[in-house]
Structure 1
Amino acid sequence: MDKGRMLADRRSLRFQIGFEAFLKFASANAADKSSIRCPCTKRCNHLGFTIRVIKDHVYFNGILTNYFNWKHHGEPSTMNAASEIEFETVEMSGDVDSEDSEGEEISSDSNEFLRFVEDGDKPLYPGCTKTTKLNGLVQTFNLKAKHGMTDACYSDMLLMIGGLLPEGNEVPASLYEAKKTLAVLGMEYEKIHACPNDCILYRGRHAEATSCPTYLESRYKMGEDQVVKVKIPAKVLWYFPIIPRFRRMFQSTKTAKALTWHATDRKIDAFMRHPANSPNWKNVDTKWPEFGKEASSLSSRYSCWPVILVTYNLPPWLYMKRKYLMLSLLIAGPKQPGNDIDVYLQPLIDDLKKLWQGVERVYGAIREEYFTLKAVLLWTINDFPAYGNLSGCVTKGYKGCHVCADECKPKWLKHSKKMAFMRHCQFLPRHHPYRKQAAAFDNTIEEDVSPSPLSGEEVLLRVEGLDNKWGKTQPKRQTYKGRKEDRPCWKKKSIL
């Protein structure tokens, strides 16, 4: 008998077949069929019940994963040669004791998700063939978001829909129940209070603070008499944790297969077919070969700034699809964060650091085993002003070119009141005829070679001594003293 079936997910057909065989064996060998020991994780073979009760217990609590020798149900404690051969056919190899079995149990996270999947696949009401409980719930949530429905209105709508459908329908009775269901799917979020001047997030050591430690700005909106009447946060960051959603992605066989496409099915040649062909990706593989051993990457107006992660492990035709774009942050107004965006990126960076080290015991549906989930931030995609805010590089004025940096050749056009950047011919080949045509440009013969972009290490050396200060209120940040053309290229050391 294949006892490995007893370790399969208890909602699968494989487990059902193995468990039925176990129940028949236990019943046939029981001295008292009304008092058979229950092998569920709660009773642990210590109490006796009928077969029917045992069945309910196991499906509800799960079965002991180290229970291979059914000595409490009639199987001899010492296995003969034939049974040893049979035992070797089990998918798990080696002796299994109570200590080792702890590493082989289906995690509570996976169990909860699998229960949700089974629950979500239920028909919306008995006999319904058009939609499931999950589809109906997602559709109502979309309506709530699209039309700005209040929580009370949404709850009343659920009650109305439930009353119109036949008895036994699966419509949640309230917004609270609906949120509990979707939270299991990995759609939970954290509302983190922020200083209205973008100085700090009220998390970690500032979690209990009621005012900004730098500028003493109140955490909450003030009344006309400058008194906090109702605790309404002045500014809120919506953070959508990314690690639970990565876990969910690998628990879908279809998505898990797509996430390993870059390592198993991608055509490798001299062409750029996938981000895995990029220098950044190859640099990670070369410098940290241990990182990518398990094939399983990432990538920013009233004012609302979204920060979206793109999972580049997926095939090129999937990773920009809406369903795979992972919203991680929503920075709500009233002001855009600007250079203070680093303050709001802190929770995301914390999770990215965890993913760099590796999140253990993530269940992969393709191989049906646990692995260590890792992710690395390869690059950011943004417009030029946002690039300046993220990197800390000046993107306008005398040092407005991030490639030339200190070697910029700016010229102020006093009539149009704009900054123009000269010496473009230096980017041409050494003997290009345009380099000698001084009269066609600004009467300068170009002999300089083009500047080389700074490497990451060179950038770090330049920003190492910068003192990052966050916030937009008094006292004002220290201004640069000296000629504008001598202003440094870097404003801060980026959190990235």
Structure 2
Amino acid sequence: MDKSWMSMNRLSREYEDGVESFIQFALQSAKDSSKILCPCVKCGNIYTKDVFVVRAHLCSYGIDLTYQTWVFHGEKSIPSNQVNKKDNTLGGIPHEDKEDPIDMVRDAYETYQDNPNQFMKLLEDAEKPLYPGHKKFTKLSAIVKLYNLKAKYGWSDVSFNDLLDLLREMLPDGNELPTSLYYAKKSLGTLGMSYEKFHACPNDCILYRNMWENYDQCPTCGLSRWKKIGKGDKLNVGVPAKVLWYFPPIPRFLRMFRNKEIAKELTWHADKRRDDGYLRHPADSPAWKLVDKEWPGFASETRSLRLALSADGINPHGQMSSSYSCWPVLIVTYNLPPWLCMKRKFMMLTLLISGPKQPGNDIDVYLSPLIDDLKKLWDIGIEAYDAYRKESFLLKAVLLWTINDFPAYGNLSGCTVHGYLACPICGEKTYSTMLEHSRKIVYTGHRRFLPVHHPYRRQKKAFDGRQEFGTTPVPLTGHEVHEKVQNINCEWGKKDKNKLNYDVGEPHRKRKAKRKSTAPKESQKDERKTCWKKKSIFFDLPYWERLHVRHVLDVMHIEKNVCESVIGTLLNISGKTKDGKAARLDLFKMGVRTELAPKEVGDRTYLPAACYTLSKEEKRHVCKSLHGMKVPIGYSSNVTSLVNMKDLKLVGMKSHDCHTLMQHLLPVAIRGVLPKHVRYTITRLCFFFNAICEKVIDVSKLDAIQRDIVTTLCLLEKQFPPSFFDIMIHLVVHLVQEVELCGPVWYRWMYPFERYMKILKGYVRNRNRPEGCIAECYIAEEAVEFCADYLSHVHTIGIRSSSLQTSQTKPLSSPENQMISETEWEQAHRYVLNNDLEIDPYIE
């Protein structure tokens, strides 16, 4: 283009025509049709202005004469041999197809404008070559690519510092590589988002924000806001006793839409989702469609976000003996396609609650900043720019549900998860009883979920000695729950444990005995008339009480606990088995299966063999079967390492080990070692978990699956002792209903969140400041993820490339050719014809 007008008189006709031609050229590549960066002498391509303001600035102040290559307005950079060395341009560094650090810096600044000086420093690093004469890498792109490798492969800080020292020695003199990780993080931190720190009361009473922002002392418990020095009462003013780290989600949502590819995928649920009646995605579920029906204005904008929240405690020190617990709160976006929405790149850390104590029931105090932003995203919305459609729109968001393990479920929902009313679905209609000898509350009575005329309802001796005429409990709606918790007065903060209800002169031994005597008794059951302990802060969201499901049950932990109970009882593993002398005495007291009552033989107690009891030889058969199993690489951990052949038990099982055992391996291992009816019941339980964990759910089969699991639980009541039925066994009966309302399980279990918790634990380098380490590393990695979309050969962390996927697929062993007879070929052919669903329509 002709740029001679830039040096002409601003009052001349040629200059005015040149300004108009420049504006028209800039609008062709502008993301917003009404705003562009202003290149006048005063603004210097830092501030984005309206077109009429840019025109006025260029006529009033003049254009920056050093701006000869309009890289900020769509003009491509030119090779170094065509650039005047005096020009302050891109430095003559040719870029590959994906190398665009200038756009990367500009988009980062447009999303989060807070420091123009940092922007100019970043722009300088994006233009400066790695060393004099180098034409491939700039200083900024080199830092990004190196840190990308560090985050991808989990390098330690010390190893990364040593690598930087080595590379500086290998590169020519005058190179711009940072001297340490500290300076590399300073550069990357300006590309990422920031975080806020709110001071908190050590007893979790308040956050020092809003009306308490200037307080120095907690108005509830009286503790000081500041940290004590040593063991005395002297305060270190300025150093908070406890901190909440808040990562605002709104600017992060805005940046997602600034990326063209991500903005395109954020409407996958409306543009490319397969809608054939099957449950493949939360968008297929009634919970999603309820939002569409109740709030059509929200649903009319396909870019409105549907979110899920997960909170769990982690020990950042990685030591089981340490009681330190900090709580990350994560958010995932369901608008994305299935292969992206639960990946590490799109898991957003929003809150980090400092330890050493877990917040427990007081977690609502720390959730208040996030709830305020969620209310803003629902009531008002935020103006956002869609880089894919090149238009601005009003961004809104809705939180569909929370995903937590069962203790955290109670903390977030405000209901009890232990005691007589521990089931949050059955609520006050929970069927529970206290076992006198086992000293535990159990949850049986699953015959209530059977059809009214089912024969099991009239059987007495096979169950608990009584007939069952109860009906299936109906879960409370959100409106009903809100009415029940509306008037509950809950005081936040940990109570002073030193103020106990006992006399000062009472001996310590008696005080201890008095506290032990508060264990629940059968007579106390009627005193608890409600299972609600607080009004959850999520009810502050205007839509919360109208949702079908507000908090979902975590299938991962339920399956793990069920697996441990089954295997522990079958193999009689100490500490895991649900059978024993106390369990048999409870059976005898109930008048059920009295032949299994313990018998005294001399000085020993003999337990008669039950239908689920395995002999030593049968235990060896089961353990040997599991010990010899071979599975493909990546299918599970090494099953052999879980089997202890000496003690005939399974040890060290993780959640995924229980997942594979429960769904695939256990039915194979127990073949031929149990009575047929017991083996049949356990296999039915395994098939149930396999059915609900499928990635594609046939809605027409859910009713049959629900009937099968109710029958299976009733069969377990007939065969296993009552002590087997803890709350985790009971929750199995409610899983099908949540699948029907919320969609496939793998969008709602804790596996991806637990994996991400491990990544957060790996960020800790300074054990005195674990939360600070996590916050700083998260910000740096967030910047690397942002930069990966602009630079070549920088792969997104946590999302496999196609080359990695194919390279990690290996067979069990080397292939061998084997000839089969004609008879074997005919048998295999008939087997395929009889078992292939595609052939069924052609067979009469």
Q: TM-score range by the shorter chain?
A: 0.7 to 0.9
Query: Which amino acid in 1 is paired with 2:296?
Result: P
Which residue does the alignment assign to 1:270?
277
Q: Distance in 1 between matches of 2:18 and 2:108?
A: 21
8 Å CA contact retained: 1:162, 1:173? no
8 Å CA contact retained: 2:5, 2:15? no
Which residue does the alignment assign to 2:251?
244
Which residue does the alignment assign to 1:189?
195
8 Å CA contact retained: 2:307, 2:332? yes
8 Å CA contact retained: 2:265, 2:336? yes
Match of 1:388 among 410, 425, 441: 410
Are 1:132 and 2:145 an aligned pair? no
Q: Distance in 1 between matches of 2:179 and 2:382?
A: 34
Count of aligned positions: 427
Say if 1:373 and 1:158 are closer, same or farther in 2 by CA, change over 3 A: farther
Query: Which amino acid in 1 is paired with 2:479?
Result: E
Query: Which amino acid in 2 is paired with 1:486?
Result: E
1:259-318 per-residue CA deviation (whole Å, 9 max, x = no partner) reads 111111111121112111111211111111111222222111310211110100000111
1:319-376 per-residue CA deviation (whole Å, 9 max, x = no partner) reads 0111111111111211111111111111111111111124333111111111111110
Deviation at 1:440, TM superposition (A): 0.8
Match of 1:209 among 197, 207, 215: 215
Which residue does the alignment assign to 1:415?
437
| 3-state DSSP of counterpart to 2:274 | coil
Q: Distance in 2 between matches of 1:206 and 1:155?
A: 42
Match of 1:257 among 258, 264, 276: 264
Which residue does the alignment assign to 1:491?
533
Are 1:454 and 2:476 an aligned pair? yes
Quick check: which has more Rg, 1 or 2?
2
Say if 1:238 and 1:62 are closer, same or farther in 2 by CA, change over 3 A: closer
Are 1:329 and 2:351 an aligned pair? yes
8 Å CA contact retained: 1:144, 1:154? no
Q: Distance in 1 between matches of 2:127 and 2:347?
A: 24
Deviation at 1:461, TM superposition (A): 0.6
Q: Distance in 1 between matches of 2:18 and 2:226?
A: 55
| 3-state DSSP of counterpart to 1:328 | strand
| 3-state DSSP of counterpart to 1:298 | strand
Q: Distance in 1 between matches of 2:248 and 2:307?
A: 14
Say if 1:64 and 1:403 are closer, same or farther in 2 by CA, change over 3 A: closer
Deviation at 1:207, TM superposition (A): 1.6
8 Å CA contact retained: 1:363, 1:369? yes
The 5 A counterparts of 1:8-87 are 20=1, 23=3, 59=45, 65-66=51-52
Q: Distance in 2 between matches of 1:62 and 1:400?
A: 56
| 3-state DSSP of counterpart to 1:470 | coil
Deviation at 1:127, TM superposition (A): 2.8
The 5 A counterparts of 1:61-460 are 65-66=51-52, 109-110=110-111, 124-125=130-131, 126-128=134-136, 132-133=141-142, 135-136=144-145, 138-139=147-148, 142=151, 147=156, 165-166=171-172, 167=174, 169=176, 171=178, 175=182, 178-179=185-186, 181-186=188-193, 188-222=194-228, 223-229=230-236, 231-296=238-303, 297-299=306-308, 300=311, 301=314, 302-460=324-482
Deviation at 1:128, TM superposition (A): 3.6
8 Å CA contact retained: 2:421, 2:531? yes
Which residue does the alignment assign to 1:95?
none
Q: Distance in 1 between matches of 2:442 and 2:184?
A: 59
TM-score, structure 2 normalization: 0.45
8 Å CA contact retained: 1:252, 1:365? yes
8 Å CA contact retained: 2:448, 2:468? yes
Say if 1:485 and 1:234 are closer, same or farther in 2 by CA, change over 3 A: farther
Deviation at 1:463, TM superposition (A): 0.3
Query: Which amino acid in 2 is paired with 1:283?
Result: L
| 3-state DSSP of counterpart to 1:355 | helix
Q: Distance in 2 between matches of 1:39 and 1:159?
A: 49
Deviates more, 1:392-401 or 1:170-179: 170-179
8 Å CA contact retained: 1:123, 1:133? no
1:4-45 per-residue CA deviation (whole Å, 9 max, x = no partner) reads xxxxxxxxxxxxxxxx46x456779988699889969xxxxx
Query: Which amino acid in 2 is paired with 1:65?
Result: V
Query: Which amino acid in 2 is paired with 1:208?
Result: N
Say if 1:36 and 1:68 are closer, same or farther in 2 by CA, change over 3 A: closer
8 Å CA contact retained: 1:298, 1:309? yes
Query: Which amino acid in 2 is paired with 1:449?
Result: T
8 Å CA contact retained: 2:199, 2:242? yes
Q: Distance in 1 between matches of 2:275 and 2:156?
A: 47
Deviation at 1:451, TM superposition (A): 0.5
Q: Distance in 2 between matches of 1:118 and 1:356?
A: 39
Query: Which amino acid in 2 is paired with 1:362?
Result: A
Q: Which has the higher contact order (CA 8 A, sep 6+)?
A: 2
Which residue does the alignment assign to 1:15?
none
8 Å CA contact retained: 1:121, 1:133? no
Q: Distance in 1 between matches of 2:128 and 2:197?
A: 32
8 Å CA contact retained: 1:39, 1:63? no
| 3-state DSSP of counterpart to 1:351 | helix
Say if 1:414 and 1:378 are closer, same or farther in 2 by CA, change over 3 A: same
Deviates more, 1:399-408 or 1:127-136: 127-136
8 Å CA contact retained: 2:143, 2:177? no
Deviation at 1:384, TM superposition (A): 1.0
Which residue does the alignment assign to 2:724?
none
8 Å CA contact retained: 2:5, 2:18? no
Alignment root-mean-square deviation, CA: 4.2
Query: Which amino acid in 2 is paired with 1:332?
Result: S
Deviation at 1:214, TM superposition (A): 0.4
Q: Distance in 2 between matches of 1:313 and 1:108?
A: 26
Which residue does the alignment assign to 1:470?
492
Q: Distance in 2 between matches of 1:341 and 1:389?
A: 7
Deviates more, 1:441-450 or 1:358-367: 358-367
8 Å CA contact retained: 2:6, 2:18? no
Query: Which amino acid in 2 is paired with 1:294?
Result: E
Query: Which amino acid in 2 is paired with 1:423?
Result: G
Percent identical residues = 45
| 3-state DSSP of counterpart to 1:347 | helix
TM-score, structure 1 normalization: 0.74
Which stretches in structure 1 are left out of the alignment for 5+ residues?
Answer: 1-19, 41-52, 74-105
| 3-state DSSP of counterpart to 2:261 | helix
Q: Distance in 2 between matches of 1:205 and 1:266?
A: 46
| 3-state DSSP of counterpart to 1:379 | strand
Deviates more, 1:392-401 or 1:59-68: 59-68
8 Å CA contact retained: 2:331, 2:348? yes
Which residue does the alignment assign to 1:102?
none
8 Å CA contact retained: 2:416, 2:422? yes
